[in-house]
């Protein structure tokens, strides 16, 4: 509901004299739009954001008032626009159906203009106040999310600098994870995630290597091959990362914490169960951890490291497909190829 422009009352009735009476009642304070049937009414409701209330007859040709309410329920407009049923039959069983479908109130005929104006004006004001509160809440949530995101990025950048990175690695992981999940959801409906969840996962992926802050520099930045003992210490970063996250849950919203924790612990698991730290296999590994896993491997291959030069894109993709970096979910591989692998 847009509080500045929604100053129209829509009157829906197939009898012209009824529309005229109601229009005259409200014309002083509102612009008036009229519709002769439910079909016309829905076109106006769905196209004119100024509508602040609907006065609705139930029995009309083409489309009834009950059908209008059903459609408003389907598209969500019933949540933002109060609907008043105008009727002379207060014992009509359809009135209960109307209430169940979200009608705000019943206006009985013959109408009493002053009384009806007060009732409807009060309800419109209540809806406007609710809109103001919802807008204020959304603004607060947006600010908190921005602060939250800044803290996540700051923590991740500290780790990146210790690892000889500039902070670009975590940004790429975030971007690539999002790109891969969007493609995966389109290709395989069983993995569908709403855009809002994909955005949260993308943000949470930034903390996938937070545990590296607990790994000694001598191991983290060693230019040569790690010894068996050193590799075991390096592998511990996934568990240590979860320990770190468990001490700062209040710094993250609930969903971001859930995704961050899972990704941090399981982004080195593999489809065949040969990953670490828990040896999970197949769909025991969450789809978001699987997504971050493959893009993390890809970015590590194409980026320079103290122990290697970067591989070209096509070579990196081939290595992943050939299983040289572990086994991945075949569906993830196909989505990865479509979203990232085919890029030049």
Contacts of 152 (CB under 8 A, 6+ apart): 203, 204, 206, 207, 252, 256, 260
Contacts of 174 (CB under 8 A, 6+ apart): 202, 203, 205, 206
Chain centre distance of CA 82: 27
Q: How far are the Cα atoms of 126, 189, 244 from residue 207, in angstroms, in the given order? A: 43, 27, 11
Long-range CB pairs of 192-197 (<8 Å, 24+ gap) are: 193/287, 193/288, 197/255
Whose CA is closest to 288, among 335, 324, 321, 253? 335
Element (H, E) at 74: helix 65-75
Q: For residue 340, what is the DSSP state?
A: I
Judge if the upstream peptide bond of residue 277 is cis by omega within 30 degrees of 0: yes
Q: Would you call 179 a catalytic residue per the annotation?
A: no
Residue in 6, 178, 212, 240 annotated catalytic:
212
Q: For residue 152, what is the DSSP state?
A: H
CA 182/CA 100 separation, integer angstroms = 37
Structure tokens at 187: 């290709």
CB 19 within 8 A of CB 28: no
Judge if the upstream peptide bond of residue 110 is cis by omega within 30 degrees of 0: yes
The count of C-alpha atoms lying within 13 angstroms of the C-alpha of 344, restricted to the half-sphere facing its C-beta, is: 0
Catalytic positions, please? 212
């Amino acid at each position: 509901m847009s509080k500045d422009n929604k100053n129209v009352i829509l009157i829906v009735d197939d009898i012209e004299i009824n529309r005229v009476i109601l229009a005259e009642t409200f014309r002083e304070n509102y612009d008036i739009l009229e519709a002769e049937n439910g079909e016309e009414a829905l076109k106006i409701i769905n196209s004119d954001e100024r509508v602040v209330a609907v006065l609705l007859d139930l029995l009309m040709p083409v489309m009834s008032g009950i059908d209008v309410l059903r459609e408003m329920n389907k598209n969500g407009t019933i949540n933002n626009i109060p609907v008043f049923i105008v009727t002379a039959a207060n014992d009509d069983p359809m009135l209960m159906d109307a209430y169940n479908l979200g009608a705000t109130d019943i206006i009985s005929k013959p109408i009493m203009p002053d009384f009806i104006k007060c009732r409807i004006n009060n309800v419109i004001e209540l809806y406007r106040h609710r809109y103001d509160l919802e807008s204020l809440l959304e603004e607060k949530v947006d600010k908190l999310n921005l602060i939250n995101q800044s803290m996540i990025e700051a923590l991740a950048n500290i780790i990146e600098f210790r690892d000889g990175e500039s902070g670009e690695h975590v940004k790429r992981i975030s971007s690539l994870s999002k790109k891969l999940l969007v493609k995966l959801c389109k290709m395989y409906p069983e993995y569908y995630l709403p855009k809002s969840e994909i955005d949260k996962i993308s943000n949470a992926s930034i903390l996938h290597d937070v545990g590296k802050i607990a790994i000694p520099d001598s191991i983290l930045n060693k230019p040569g091959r790690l010894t068996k003992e050193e590799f075991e210490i390096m592998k511990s970063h996934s568990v240590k990362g979860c320990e770190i996250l468990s001490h700062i849950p209040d710094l993250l919203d609930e969903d971001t914490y859930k995704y961050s924790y899972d990704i941090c612990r399981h982004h080195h698991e593999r489809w065949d169960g040969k990953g670490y730290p828990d040896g999970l296999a197949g769909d025991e590994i969450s789809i978001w951890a699987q997504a971050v896993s493959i893009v993390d491997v890809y970015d590590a291959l194409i980026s320079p490291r103290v122990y290697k030069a970067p591989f070209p894109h096509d070579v990196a993709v081939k290595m992943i497909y050939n299983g040289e970096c572990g086994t991945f979910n075949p569906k993830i591989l196909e989505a990865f190829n479509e979203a990232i692998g085919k890029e030049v």
